[in-house]
Amino acid sequence: MVSVLEADFFLSEILGRGVFLRQQRIGRLGDLGIIETGRLPAVSHLIVKRPYGYPALTVPWDKVLMISNTEVVLDLGSEVSAAYERPPPDGVVLLHDHILDKKILDMDDHEVEVAYDVRLVFQSGTLYASEVDFSHYRALRRLGLRWLARMLTRRSDEARVSWLYVQPLHGTVDSFTGNVKLKVSKQALADIHPVDLADILEELDRPQRVALFNELEPEQATETLEEVEPRVQRELIGALPRDRAARLVNEMTPAQAADLLAILPKTEADQLLTLIDRDTSTFVEQIISEHDEQIGHYATRNLIELPVTARAGDVLRDYRELAKSKDVTMYVYVTGAGEVLRGVVDLRELLAAEPGQQLGELMTEHVISLRPEASVGDAAELFERYDFRALPIVDAGERLIGAISSRDMRSIKSRRR
């Protein structure tokens, strides 16, 4: 069983670290080899550089006892066997030798960036290559200019792409030639986060952008549409058949739909309003016209609502299904008879709970909430004061009506500037 001291690593920060056979130092980490067998490639071998002209060692991952940012400990028996003095097996890609400093190309072989680092994550006893990093922050750190990296860039400036979108590399790269190529295929689209998809769409030309957007499932298309800049939103909605555009708008909360329709030409917005659900269109028209400032008109009923007797283990087991198509997923709202709001449980509290604990034991009973007639300004003030990710909306009898998410709140405030 491998022991780790960190949950994730950057390749550049562990290369060169001391490698030990129990207590004896035998060399330094020269490279990591991966095999692309699953969604993310697993580290299969360690390359150990040795001093005094001794050949390098190729050590299988199952011989690793401990790995950290400062050292690696191996279990090779009492001494190093000549069986480890061999090159990596066929099909193994070396992260330092084959990936670092290679150009990253898009699907049309246009250069996008340069791979300056690789992020690795440790899960269930295995180390995986999870992301290729092409940020200037990592480039400066690799040059030993950490002070300059801290001065000129921020960690938040780091730019990475998931390994899920990197083409298989077998036979395409070696120590000196080749490139790392990105893939954005139809099969992979469902796995790409809407924020990443929005970035990709904004970089494409119009025909490619529309073609890619048309491949998305409705829920993913809606979430992606919310993330792209207004110019691209107008272009995509304008290129869609009216019935498909209306279906996407119907997937949105009223606040999100109002933001989208507000940037369209009036004739297009009016056409879509006639095609979407009547209840939704009424709220959307009120928001667009800004004749009604009540927060209740921005609420969504697509949230997770469960009784006090629900157990944490059952909720986590079914969470993927419970959260499907929901607008608010970070909280579980606990209700009693007549849908009266009894409390709220944060997802992080669920993860830390014992499986048998009931929501009634975990919930925060004193819930900060809003009345539906509260103003947008009142809601904004509560979000700013408490930094919540969503706020429930209840009537005079404390019955749960819906919730307003912080994302919707930011969208409303942005539109009103």
- Whether 298 is in a domain gets the answer no
Residues 15 and 61 grouped into a single domain: yes
Residues 221 and 90 grouped into a single domain: no
Residues 266 and 363 grouped into a single domain: no
- Whether 38 is in a domain gets the answer yes
- Whether 400 is in a domain gets the answer yes
- Whether 264 is in a domain gets the answer yes
- Which of 292, 316, 350 marks a domain boundary? 292
Q: What is the pLDDT of residues 297-348, one digit of tens each?
A: 778 888 999 999 999 999 988 888 888 878 888 899 999 998 999 999 988 7
Q: What is the percentage of the chain residues whose pLDDT exceeds 70?
A: 73
Residues 34 and 153 grouped into a single domain: yes
Q: What is the mean pLDDT of the chain?
A: 77
Label each residue of the chain as H, E or C: CCEECCCEEEHHHHCCCEEEECCEEEEEEEEEEEECCCCCCEEEEEEEECCCCCCCEEEEHHHEEEECCCEEEECCCCCCCHHHCCCCCCCCEEHHHHHCCCEEECCCCCEEEECCEEEEEEECCEEEEEEEECCHHHHHHHCCCHHHHHHHCCHHHCCEEEHHHECCCCCCCCCCCCCEEECCCHHHHCCCCHHHHHHHHHHCCHHHHHHHHHCCCHHHHHHHHHHCCHHHHHHHHHHCCHHHHHHHHHCCCHHHHHHHHHCCCHHHHHHHHHHCCHHHHHHHHHHHHCCCCEHHHHCECCEEEEECCCEHHHHHHCHHHHHCCCCEEEEEEEECHHHEEEEEEEHHHHHHCCCCCEHHHHCECCCCCECCCCEHHHHHHHHHHHCCCEEEEECCCCEEEEEEEHHHHHHHHHHHC
Q: What is the pLDDT of residues 199-232, one digit of tens each?
A: 777 766 676 677 678 777 777 888 888 788 777 8
Q: What is the pLDDT of residues 370-386, one digit of tens each?
A: 998 888 878 888 888 88
- Whether 123 is in a domain gets the answer yes
Provide the pLDDT confidence category of residue 292 given band limits of 50, 70 and 90.
Answer: very low
Provide the pLDDT confidence category of residue 403 given band limits of 50, 70 and 90.
Answer: very high
Q: What is the percentage of the chain residues whose pLDDT exceeds 90?
A: 16
Residues 141 and 276 grouped into a single domain: no
Task: Say which CATH number the domain at 167 has.
Answer: 2.30.30.240
> Per the confidence metrics, is the pTM higher than 0.85?
no
Residues 80 and 210 grouped into a single domain: no
Residues 153 and 245 grouped into a single domain: no
- Which of 233, 259, 292 marks a domain boundary? 292
Task: Say which CATH number the domain at 260 has.
Answer: 1.25.60.10
Task: Say which CATH number the domain at 400 has.
Answer: 3.10.580.10
Residues 263 and 327 grouped into a single domain: no
pLDDT at residue 186, as a whole number: 45
Residues 81 and 126 grouped into a single domain: yes
Count structural domains, the chain. 3
- Whether 398 is in a domain gets the answer yes
Asked if pLDDT for residue 95 goes beyond 50, the answer is: yes
Residues 40 and 152 grouped into a single domain: yes
Provide the pLDDT confidence category of residue 233 given band limits of 50, 70 and 90.
Answer: confident
Domain hosting 247: range is: 189-292
- Which of 292, 327, 351 marks a domain boundary? 292
Residues 354 and 274 grouped into a single domain: no
Residues 51 and 142 grouped into a single domain: yes
